[in-house]
Structure 1
Amino acid sequence: MIPALAGVLGSRIARAVCDRRDLTSWKRKSYSGKQVCLSGGLDLLAGVTAANCAGSFAQPRYRAACLLATGSAGLAGYIDDHCEDRFPAHGKGFRGHLGALRRGQLSSGAAKIAIIGTGAMMSAAWLEVCGLSGSNRPNGARDLRVRFASGLVNTAIIALSANTFNLLDLRPGRARKVAILLGVPTGGQVGRDTAVAAAAGIGEDLLGRTMLGDLGANVLGAQLGMGWTRSSLPVRCVTLAVLLGVNVAAERVSFSQLIESTPVLREFDMLGR
């Protein structure tokens, strides 16, 4: 309860500060052509960070891993949101960014992949070293193999979850609603804290006043990914398969078009807008 309350308080304080600052450079055109401020990512980051810091009293090593994952995801998102024009190449999706890298040109997206991947790997390694992931830990050589496999799975879950929520942040409130829907039943205490922090700023998001941007969406996904690392290894493998499928599908299919053409998904997406 205390981490969740800290998440709400952190989000609301950040929102109050942002409302009093000139954030012209944070404004972008939305899908509708309206000017929207990316400061939603700041209030989400503040909420998630406050929740992790409050939770560190009970789970210090695990919450430290959460801070590492979300901090690297937030840094990568900030670079993609605000420094894209400073990179020699531009791309879209994994294929576009990695294609530019093969040509010897670095894009902000490729830098984002590297930073999120490194943060996810370090967080996953820390979980295994401290025995905090959901693995069953037998003795001997098999223990090392299981822990190595567990670390790889956790790394991929955190990184792909961060990118998945980036893909969802294309309409008002969409990424926050999915985080609330998934975080409460599947993410353990960290997932519930994340859902509460996401809900704290959803009003401005739904009204089209703010959006998460890459910064907020990456943080949201990385934090939920950390929540999913506490599941058993078989459950995490299923989670990884779903996330991988979503990210592969996104290279070929428009999620917005798919949602708008599916009545149930369309109604959920429009809820509160």
Structure 2
Amino acid sequence: MAFSSGRVPGALVAAGAARAGYALLRAEPPGGAARWERKNHAGRTVDLHGGLAAAAGVALAAAVTRGLPGRTRTAAVLATVAATACGAYDDQAGSADERGLGAHLRALADGRVTSGAVKLLGIGAAGLAAGALIGRRPVDAVLAGVVIAGSAHLVNLLDVAPGRAAKAVLAAGAPGLLRGGPAGALAAAPVAAAAAVLADDLGERTMLGDAGAHALGAALGVSIVTANGRTGRALHAAVLVALAAVGDKVSHSDALWTAPGIRAVDAWGRLPR
């Protein structure tokens, strides 16, 4: 089965699959409901189904939407599936005592491989492999890999408050929707999937988790890579590396998230504390 080229068909596939997947996972959680339940910042019980469903919607849209060059399609599916798998592993095996890029790198230096390190190395390798499919010269492949993995990491950094990561995907992906061709179709998938689960995320019934946040970010990264040449990829890579270096401030900075304007957008739609 295939769909006509363009942004709208890809968006419909991503959103429809995300909603259907979410309903299916809620009805029949693999391994039982408790395996996928977590306590959020407010102490409410939420599930991880929204993130898995959104990731599935993005991967399906990349796989079946017409108009994508073969190597670009493969890169999008590879990056999304690998990010989902690595994120899901960390969702299940991760420890709250070891969070953040620095903690995982210190553990590696001590000879310990944490679930976060597996995620870091796995998504990094998948990003480079996807980058090599899109940019055949080594420098282009490396820049593409940094953008894909860096985008996945950034969206995950933002998944610390209901709806924040999904809203970031909507905002970052919106400019890509103005483009035609493969870049527009690739941007439409994560934007539509994020929109499909946003209400449940804001309502604190579900959360993206590492699986959903990394998948949406990786897919967004592929769309950014596809839309830009070497200079644009280098600029995006530099910004993403800088944000990763100050990851804790991006996630939790009161100065950032309580600033006028940002605070209103960030809090929109959330349940009262």
TM-score by length of 1: 0.87
In the alignment, is residue 207 of structure 1 matched against residue 203 of structure 2? yes
In the alignment, is residue 268 of structure 1 matched against residue 265 of structure 2? yes
- Cα distance, 1:12 vs. partner? 1.4
Call closer, same or farther: CA 1:90–1:125 in 2, change over 3 Å. Answer: farther
Partner of 1:233 in structure 2? 230
Call closer, same or farther: CA 1:101–1:48 in 2, change over 3 Å. Answer: same
What are the Cα deviations for residues 199-240 of structure 1, in whole angstroms up to 9, with x where unaligned? 011110110100000000000110000001121211111111
Call closer, same or farther: CA 1:78–1:176 in 2, change over 3 Å. Answer: same
In the alignment, is residue 97 of structure 1 matched against residue 104 of structure 2? yes
- Cα distance, 1:254 vs. partner? 4.6
Partner of 1:71 in structure 2? 81
Partner of 2:170 in structure 1? 180
CA distance in 1 between partners of 2:232 and 2:19 (Å): 34
Partner of 1:221 in structure 2? 217
CA distance in 2 between partners of 1:76 and 1:254 (Å): 20
Partner of 2:47 in structure 1? 37
Partner of 2:130 in structure 1? 123
CA distance in 2 between partners of 1:151 and 1:197 (Å): 27
- Cα distance, 1:252 vs. partner? 5.1
CA distance in 1 between partners of 2:131 and 2:51 (Å): 24
In the alignment, is residue 167 of structure 1 matched against residue 157 of structure 2? yes
| Matching residue within 125, 144, 147 for 1:157 | 147
Unaligned runs of 5+ in 1: 130-146
Partner of 1:194 in structure 2? 190
Q: What do you get for the CA RMSD once the two structures are aligned?
A: 1.8
Does the CA contact (< 8 Å) of 1:90 and 1:97 recur in 2?
no
- Cα distance, 1:192 vs. partner? 2.0
CA distance in 2 between partners of 1:117 and 1:198 (Å): 22
Call closer, same or farther: CA 1:153–1:249 in 2, change over 3 Å. Answer: same
Report which stretch shifted further, 179-188 or 29-38: 179-188
- Cα distance, 1:184 vs. partner? 1.9
Unaligned runs of 5+ in 2: 1-7, 177-182
Which consecutive segments of 4 or more residues in structure 1 shift more than 4 A? Answer: 251-254
Which amino acid letter does the alignment assign opposite residue 247 of structure 2?
Answer: A
Percent identity between matched residues is 35
> Residue 229 of structure 1: SS of its match in structure 2?
helix
CA distance in 1 between partners of 2:171 and 2:40 (Å): 24
| Matching residue within 90, 102, 107 for 1:80 | 90
Call closer, same or farther: CA 1:243–1:57 in 2, change over 3 Å. Answer: same
Instruction: Number of aligned residue pairs: give it.
Output: 253
Report which stretch shifted further, 111-120 or 22-31: 22-31
Does the CA contact (< 8 Å) of 1:172 and 1:205 recur in 2?
yes
In the alignment, is residue 19 of structure 1 matched against residue 9 of structure 2? no
Which amino acid letter does the alignment assign opposite residue 216 of structure 1?
Answer: G
Does the CA contact (< 8 Å) of 1:95 and 1:251 recur in 2?
no
Call closer, same or farther: CA 1:66–1:58 in 2, change over 3 Å. Answer: closer
Report which stretch shifted further, 14-23 or 50-59: 50-59
Does the CA contact (< 8 Å) of 2:84 and 2:214 recur in 1?
yes
Partner of 1:139 in structure 2? none
What are the Cα deviations for residues 97-126 of structure 1, in whole angstroms up to 9, with x where unaligned? 011111111111111111001111111111
CA distance in 1 between partners of 2:145 and 2:191 (Å): 21
Call closer, same or farther: CA 1:118–1:208 in 2, change over 3 Å. Answer: same
Call closer, same or farther: CA 1:172–1:251 in 2, change over 3 Å. Answer: closer
- Cα distance, 1:255 vs. partner? 3.2
Which amino acid letter does the alignment assign opposite residue 116 of structure 1?
Answer: I
Which amino acid letter does the alignment assign opposite residue 103 of structure 1?
Answer: D
CA distance in 2 between partners of 1:223 and 1:189 (Å): 11
- Cα distance, 1:271 vs. partner? 1.3
